[in-house]
Structure 1
């Protein structure tokens, strides 16, 4: 009997590893505590349509990832976003043209991870709380006390603070994950009945509680939506106001947005807030992925590399490569 490989986390890193392992002829079972795939690349369904509250776009620099993105575009899961970008500093709004190619999932960010799920066994709404070793194989225990297994190997593809307790059987890896600091981000979406009269599609914000704003409908596949905007607070502001009530967060960040956008902003007809506790790693790392091949435990995620979507995908590939290297 072929004993499958377990992957905890259906974000871009976990699904990248799952794809690579499945392509190599392995059987994989994916577990995720959420209701759908994507992690920080997921989209939130709302009264105003699907909103990208997490990753806003991604870039491709590594040759392997460039090739992968081409495949996603060919499959209709991704498209190039060509926004009119601005900078805001000291009360001044200035155009911010650059040569950077930016990609988004189409018609929403989660289209990519949904595509990657094809043909993969996945168990949603299942939060794994423990990874433990039986006589020959690994077993997983979920929050309901249900045991899953046996598994030949386990790949843990969740943010570092969540990976740490799951790596208890490999203290060295758990120690590395425990040392990774992840930064939070408050994200707010506001919608308006009529389009705001501004050419801005996105804005990098300096010296302000806001870090970034984007017009959601300016992205490919979202043009039928009302005029919705996604606002991201800085990590520092988010840390200082981590337990603020959502209504207050909306009020504060909408106020900052109304000040910078350069046109009259009515009260929004729609608003929501989402708190990403582990939005991004505080620094870059060079691990690629973490591995204890003797035990058959692996960890991957954007925190093992650059903190970017590309880093998450490459980390999943690296975890799969190391795992395949050590299979009997």
Structure 2
């Protein structure tokens, strides 16, 4: 009987590692504390349609990732987004066109992780709290005290603060991961009955509690929803207001949005606030993925590299490569 490899986390990093290992002929079992895949690439179903509350778009620079994104596009999971982009600085709104190719999941961001998950063996709504190393194999324990295993190797593909706790069995890795600081982000979705009178689809914001806003409904495949917008607060504002009640977050960020628009905005017909406690790493690293090959324990995620979707995917590839090299 083949002993499977456990992967904790079904964001881009975990699914990237899973795909590489399955392609090499290995069996994997994925775990996630959420009810569905995607992590920060997930989308929120709402009465205003599917909303990308986390990652807003992604770019591809590394040749390997460019090829992967082309594969996603061919499968209909990803599309190019060509937004009218603006900058908002010192109260001035100016067009900010560039040559950058921006990609989004289609018809929602989570289409990509859904596609990558495919028919993989996965247990959702399962928070792994402990890793137990036996003589030959690993066992995982969840928050309800349930035991999962045996597994030959374990890949941890969660945000760094959650990975630190699981890496207690590998103190050297745990201390490296503990040094990673991750920034929070408050996200707010607004929907309007009548489309706002602006050409803007996306805006990089300075001198405001907001640092990004996007017309979610301008993305490919989202045309059957009202005029929806997703706003991201700055890391500094989010940290200062980490425990602010959602009603107050909605009020303050909606106020900042209205101020920025330079014309009277109507009352939204729908609002939704979501707090990403670990939205992005505060600094970039060059780790690729972390490994204790003797233990058969690996860690990957966007925090191992650039904090970008591409970084998460490359980190998952690196974790799988290191594991496969150790098996040779």
The two structures have a TM-score, normalised by structure 1, of 0.99
Aligned pairs, number: 328
Does the CA contact (< 8 Å) of 1:8 and 1:158 recur in 2?
yes
Task: Report the equivalent of 1:280.
Answer: 280
Deviation at 1:262, TM superposition (A): 2.7
Task: Report the equivalent of 2:101.
Answer: 101
Deviation at 1:263, TM superposition (A): 2.5
Task: Report the equivalent of 1:313.
Answer: 313
Task: Report the equivalent of 2:209.
Answer: 209
Deviation at 1:224, TM superposition (A): 1.2
Q: Secondary structure at the match of 2:327?
A: coil
Deviation at 1:119, TM superposition (A): 2.4
Distance in 1 (alpha carbons) for counterparts of 2:167 and 2:152: 16
Task: Report the equivalent of 2:179.
Answer: 179
| Equivalences for residues 67-216 of structure 1 within 5 A | 67-216=67-216
Does the CA contact (< 8 Å) of 1:198 and 1:262 recur in 2?
no
Distance in 2 (alpha carbons) for counterparts of 1:263 and 1:109: 30
Q: Deviations over 1:170-228 (max 9, x none)?
A: 11001111000000000000111110010000000011100000000100000111011
Deviation at 1:135, TM superposition (A): 2.0
After TM superposition, the structure 1 stretch with the greater mean CA deviation from structure 2, 128-137 or 316-325, is 128-137
Deviation at 1:16, TM superposition (A): 0.2
Q: Which runs of 4+ in 1 moved over 4 A?
A: none
| Equivalences for residues 265-276 of structure 1 within 5 A | 265-276=265-276
Does the CA contact (< 8 Å) of 1:196 and 1:263 recur in 2?
no
After TM superposition, the structure 1 stretch with the greater mean CA deviation from structure 2, 126-135 or 235-244, is 126-135
Q: Secondary structure at the match of 2:59?
A: coil
Deviation at 1:84, TM superposition (A): 0.1
Distance in 1 (alpha carbons) for counterparts of 2:125 and 2:134: 24
Distance in 2 (alpha carbons) for counterparts of 1:158 and 1:210: 26
Does the CA contact (< 8 Å) of 1:209 and 1:256 recur in 2?
yes
Unaligned regions of 5+ residues in structure 2, if any? Answer: none
Task: Report the equivalent of 1:66.
Answer: 66
Deviation at 1:327, TM superposition (A): 1.3
Q: Deviations over 1:229-272 (max 9, x none)?
A: 00000000000000000010001001110111233201111001
Distance in 2 (alpha carbons) for counterparts of 1:40 and 1:238: 16
Distance in 1 (alpha carbons) for counterparts of 2:223 and 2:201: 12
| Equivalences for residues 198-277 of structure 1 within 5 A | 198-277=198-277
Q: Secondary structure at the match of 2:204?
A: strand
Distance in 2 (alpha carbons) for counterparts of 1:263 and 1:10: 41
Unaligned regions of 5+ residues in structure 1, if any? Answer: none
Deviation at 1:136, TM superposition (A): 1.2
Does the CA contact (< 8 Å) of 1:85 and 1:95 recur in 2?
yes
